Structure 1
Amino acid sequence: MIVRSIAGALSPSGQRARLSIFIFHRVLSQMDALFPGEQDARRFNEVLSWVGQWFQVMPLDEAVSRLGAGTLPARAAAITFDDGYADNATNALPVLQHHGMAATFFIATSFLDGGRMWNDSVIEAVRVFRGKELDLSHAGLGSYCLESHEQRRVAIESLLGHIKYFRPYQRQEAVAKIVDVAGARLPDNLMLRSEQVLALRNAGMQIGAHTCSHPILEKISDDEALSEISNGKVGLESLLGEPVTHFAYPNGKPDVDYSAKHVAMVRQAGFVAAFSTAPGVAMQTGDVHQLPRFTPWDRTRSRYGMRLLANMRRSAPQVVASTVA
């Protein structure tokens, strides 16, 4: 096993260990014709079979604790999910259990029990639009031909990219215009219900915080950011009846989506560890409140493994963290 051998050399046990943290979002029931590259249950099962052969997959809290203590085993890895999609419980959980693996689910609490993330509102509005052209030019968002899945996919990617870094109220207004023009009736079952969060925990999975409404922290005020970080934690702790000690930054790019002041806020809120979406692997010398995560996008076993090994050689970017909020 070439990947396993090289991974062991790159990440020996002890103080020189490197922790590979995988990040996922959704596990669909079956392939989505609009997004054929999105992961479904069959694909997730295949990926976990590879990961299980190459790495020692551990619960995230144990992995982070042993990283700090310098006692990680060789080829250590952990699995995480962001946002809180319902298919994490219906599709991902059975596959994880089949492989005997635990994952941590970072949940944005405002979307529990019937909520919907803004990007999904855009995706579903374009998906169900019955016409051949979606004209949003009056809203400054362009006009899109939607005669094929490819054209709809291009339209979605363009719209998401255009409004992603709007201020929250501007983004909300833009999404509302898209939904209105599309005449869309949007689904209310995309995100987890509270009882599913409890079921994940009761099945041996771990729950982490991901703010309340998943804002890009750099685009809101400091007071709003601290409230989002703290209240997301409090809401989950109230639901679970236990401490929530891990946090994932929404969107998660250092110096783009969050900065040093947000790292300080996360510490202030009492989180033991926090996670970005910067590529690379976690090392004992890194900031425990900016641990990197990465997942290859390759479709074949060999390319997936080679990209993982390349990632294990990377130094993860971080913001220069402050010690006060």
Structure 2
Amino acid sequence: MFVVPMNRTIAGFGHSVLSGFSRSLAGSCSVLLYHRVCRLDNDYLLLSVTPDNFYEQINFLKRNCRILTAEEFREIIIKRKRFLPRSVLLTFDDGYADNYYNAMPVLETLGVQAIFFISTGFVDKQVEFWWDKLENIIIQNGQKIKEINFNGFYVKMGSVKDGIDAFNKIFPVLRNLNVADRDNLINEWAAKANINYERDAYRPMTWEELKRFKDSSAVVIGGHTVNHPSLGTLSIPEQRFEIESSKKELERHLNNRIYYFSYPFGQAYDYTKNSKEICKDAGYEIAFANYPDRVTIISNRYSLPRFVIRDWNLSEFEKQSAFFCK
């Protein structure tokens, strides 16, 4: 999951430019980050791409870029080979059920592959991810709570705009709380808003769905912690639990070796040097972060950059591709 940006463009993230020397020596690869493929009535968090737009985006990439498989990408990174021009890798974070029902069929139809990073603590729970639940409470039902006095700020909520403002203040605090405190607060606010349901459109996959999902040639599974915390806020033992346990659980349920990991949120303060060392010790061979840049031979393979993709139509996607389809 990614923090809500101020705008929808890749350029708005402050795209950094790699040296021409690095690119000419070993080429580069753009790793693209998706979260959801579905049509929502309201997508305040900008996490979803509609199925039609997703098909157009991937079809454009297939026609204009070289979409690597996970194994092709891994071999280039591990053996420090040269990326061919216009190389791209597709990734998804979190493990929403719509990845199985909407994203996978498109990837299969077009004959391409993506890595899907799964937060195991949400699998089979039939509950929404905590940020979605927070969005439902604060943005869509904030008028029922009316006000929140939390962490030194006071917010009155009577409109969607009030809710968005409150969400943007509350979210950074909750991402840094321990899991129990975070969930207790969200449940308390849900009770005040009289929200005693889980929205099916927001649920994660079940283990049965994941087992069928991983059998597709379009799918490779990766780890994404257990509880989706900001690892940079955790102690070393807590980080080790989140990183190692998710890998072991995925391997036990799916009977597949897990090579890939992505850091929840993925900003520079969401993981540490210790996080990278724990990933390496756990047996992950590659770990992905969340900042816009292209992967080259000089990239640290335990904090590789990715470009976040939004719900752009084909025309807008073509414009945005100027930043990553090179």
The verdict on a shared fold, with TM-score over 0.5 as the criterion, is yes
- 2:285 aligned with 1:275, yes or no? no
Given residue 60 of structure 1, which amino acid in structure 2 is its aligned partner? Answer: A
1:103 aligns with 2:117: no
Q: What value does the CA root-mean-square deviation take over the aligned residues?
A: 2.8
The aligned counterpart of 1:321 is none
Which among 15, 23, 32 is matched to residue 41 of structure 2?
32
In 2, Cα distance between the equivalents of 1:287 and 1:220?
22
The reply to whether residue 170 of structure 1 matches residue 181 of structure 2 is yes
Q: Secondary structure at the match of 1:203?
A: coil
**One-letter amino acid of the counterpart of residue 61, structure 1:** E
Partner Cα separation in structure 1 for residue 194 and residue 169 of structure 2: 19
The structural deviation recorded for 1:233 is 0.3
Structure 1 equivalent of residue 209 of structure 2: 196
Q: What TM-score, normalized to structure 2?
A: 0.82
Which residue is 1:145 aligned to?
157
1:254-274 alpha-carbon deviations (Å, 9 max, x no partner): 2x0111111001000011111
Q: How does 1:1-325 map to 2 (within 5 A)?
A: 16-28=26-38, 30-33=39-42, 35=44, 37=46, 38-69=48-79, 70-113=81-124, 114-126=126-138, 129=141, 131=143, 134-137=146-149, 142-147=154-159, 149-187=160-198, 189=200, 190-204=203-217, 205-254=219-268, 256-297=269-310, 299=312, 301=314, 303-310=316-323
CA contact 2:56–2:313 (8 Å) conserved in 1: no
Q: Deviations over 1:187-212 (max 9, x none)?
A: 16411111111122111110001111
Q: Percent identity?
A: 24
Aligned length: 301
C-alpha displacement of 1:100? 1.5
Runs of 4+ in 1 over 6 A off after TM superposition: 10-14
Give the direction of change, closer, same or farther, for the CA distance of 1:296–1:191 in structure 2 (3 Å limit): closer
| Alpha-carbon displacement from aligned partner over 1:179-235 (angstroms, at most 9, x marks no partner) | 121111231641111111112211111000111111111111111110111110000
5+ long unaligned stretches in structure 2? 1-19
Hey, what does 1:5 align to over in structure 2?
none
CA distance in 2, matches of 1:196, 1:235: 15
Structure 1 unpaired stretches of 5+: 1-9, 314-325
Cα deviation for residue 15 of structure 1 reads 5.1
TM-score, normalised with respect to structure 1: 0.82
Quick one: higher RCO (CA 8 Å, sep 6+), 1 or 2? 2
Distance in 1 between residues matched to 2:40 and 2:146, nearest whole Å: 25
**Distance verdict in 2 for CA 1:290–1:41, change over 3 Å:** same
